[in-house]
Structure 1
Amino acid sequence: MLTLVIGNKNYSSWSLRPFLVLRTFGVAFDEVRILLDTPHFQQDVGKWAPNLRVPALHDDGLVIWDSLAICEYANEQYLDGRGWPAETAARAQARSAAAEMHSGFTALRKQCPMNMRRTPDNYRPDAEAQRDIDRIQAIWRELKQTHGQGGDFLCGAFSIVDAMYAPVVSRFLSYGVEMDDTARAFADAIQSLPAWQEWRDAGFAEIEYLPDTEKFRA
């Protein structure tokens, strides 16, 4: 049995990505959740991940860390390649988009961290983060127009690239980001996934640690 080590479901965007891939493709796994920002987080996560971060995947003594690496491992070992689009050009561009998400958009990450419980208010990102937002929606439009006409997701059927951008959907919703038609349709598709709904509901219900008070709250 695989074991996926994750952080808070309300906050851990990197943990959400492999969770969606494994759940949506029906790969069975056990789950270990380690609350972020607790005084003993590094001690706890150190038992599972060599980089002292979440997520990490354990498979019969093998440890894979980093969200995208976990998704790629699952694709190779358990999905027979179904985690990426079957067509070569779609697969290449989906991988490019996933890699750009993996390494970029730092302004959006910093200014709009994932918080699934958050509701939109008057907060607006600055020009740098808005450039990230515009670029992300351009990627979604390009993938959808070029490769995604056969289904609800960016390249038609759900794939790893959709999981990589799923936390952005959460950010856009939580911070009231203006979305074009393609982005709204993609957000609806992500929210329709049972795995997303399972994660969201658990995130709403989980306890969290408050560093300022050194206490936990529901």
Structure 2
Amino acid sequence: MKLFIGNKAYSSWSMRGWLAVKQSGLAFEEATVPLFDADWDQRRQGDEFAAGGGKVPILWEDDCVVWDSLAIIEFLADKVGRDVFWPKDEQARAMARSMAAEMHSGFANLRRELPMNVRKQYPARQLSAETVQEIGRVLSTWAHARARFGGTGKFLFDRYSAADIMFAPVATRFVTYSVPLPGFAATYVEALYTHPHIRQWIEDAQNEDWTIEKYEQEVAA
């Protein structure tokens, strides 16, 4: 398999796709494509990106192509077993899938106002009411999952799952922008940061040679 991803410092969707392939345990080749550089518009028109409309991540296995992070998770779950990615309990699995889907389609204000950059940390600042509301929604779903299905583990559904993969880039945003978190959420974010796959992604990002200037400046409220 070959996975095309964007810059590890900035690309939240690439992070999800990459974490999914790492979780599968399958061997893969990783190809990092610098986003928005001088060759980006031409590069994204290449055949390897066509199926996904020029976006990353995109996963190839011979002539089989899968784009979109959530689709990559499901493709890999079919290959290695759904228990690798989703809780075994039916009710927990239903909630995990709902949370992953909501993360996939929602939280537009949070994404816009707090763009991902795992190499930076800014002081806390006032956020828009819309973003604060979305952060509240994230925290309430985290609390619900932990209360019902967290068990004795460190993650949303006891053991690390696709739900954690989907929320990992949000956790990095909370760290980057020093978002105040209640104790349970701070503990969960710390657990994510100590997971070996997430730790490797963040460490790799520190060693990237390229930057995207618009993501290197603190976004004004």
What is the Cα deviation at residue 22 of structure 1? 2.0
Q: 2:157 aligns with which of 149, 155, 158?
A: 155
- The match for 2:2 is 3
What is the Cα deviation at residue 194 of structure 1? 1.0
Identity %: 36
Quote the RMSD (CA, aligned, Å). 1.5
Equivalences for residues 5-154 of structure 1 within 5 A: 5-47=4-46, 48-49=48-49, 50=51, 51-154=53-156
* 1:95-145 deviation line (CA, Å, top 9, x unaligned): 000000000000000000000111122433211100010100000000011
Provide the rounded CA distance (Å) in 2 between the counterparts of 1:41 and 1:89: 43
Provide the rounded CA distance (Å) in 2 between the counterparts of 1:164 and 1:211: 26
Provide the rounded CA distance (Å) in 1 between the counterparts of 2:123 and 2:180: 13
| Aligned partner of residue 84 in structure 2, secondary structure | coil
Amino acid at match of 2:199: Q
CA separation of 1:188 and 1:122: change in aligned 2, threshold 3 A: closer
| Aligned partner of residue 56 in structure 2, secondary structure | coil
Provide the rounded CA distance (Å) in 1 between the counterparts of 2:173 and 2:14: 15
Q: Is the Cα contact below 8 Å between 2:24 and 2:76 reproduced in 1?
A: no
How many residues are aligned here?
Answer: 211
| Aligned partner of residue 98 in structure 1, secondary structure | helix
Provide the rounded CA distance (Å) in 1 between the counterparts of 2:87 and 2:68: 21
Provide structure 2 residue ranges, at least 5 long, that are not aligned to the other structure.
215-221
Amino acid at match of 2:23: T
Structure 1 runs (4+) deviating above 6 angstroms are: none
Amino acid at match of 1:34: V
What is the Cα deviation at residue 16 of structure 1? 0.5
| Aligned partner of residue 200 in structure 1, secondary structure | helix
| Aligned partner of residue 186 in structure 1, secondary structure | helix
Q: Is the Cα contact below 8 Å between 1:21 and 1:159 reproduced in 2?
A: no
Provide the rounded CA distance (Å) in 2 between the counterparts of 1:211 and 1:170: 19
* 1:122-180 deviation line (CA, Å, top 9, x unaligned): 43321110001010000000001111113111001111010000001100000000111
Provide the rounded CA distance (Å) in 1 between the counterparts of 2:137 and 2:20: 24
Provide the rounded CA distance (Å) in 1 between the counterparts of 2:213 and 2:137: 34
Equivalences for residues 176-191 of structure 1 within 5 A: 176-191=178-193
- The match for 1:216 is none
| Aligned partner of residue 208 in structure 1, secondary structure | coil
Amino acid at match of 1:28: A
Q: Is the Cα contact below 8 Å between 2:10 and 2:118 reproduced in 1?
A: yes
What is the Cα deviation at residue 210 of structure 1? 4.6
Provide the rounded CA distance (Å) in 1 between the counterparts of 2:183 and 2:124: 22
Q: Is the Cα contact below 8 Å between 1:7 and 1:35 reproduced in 2?
A: yes
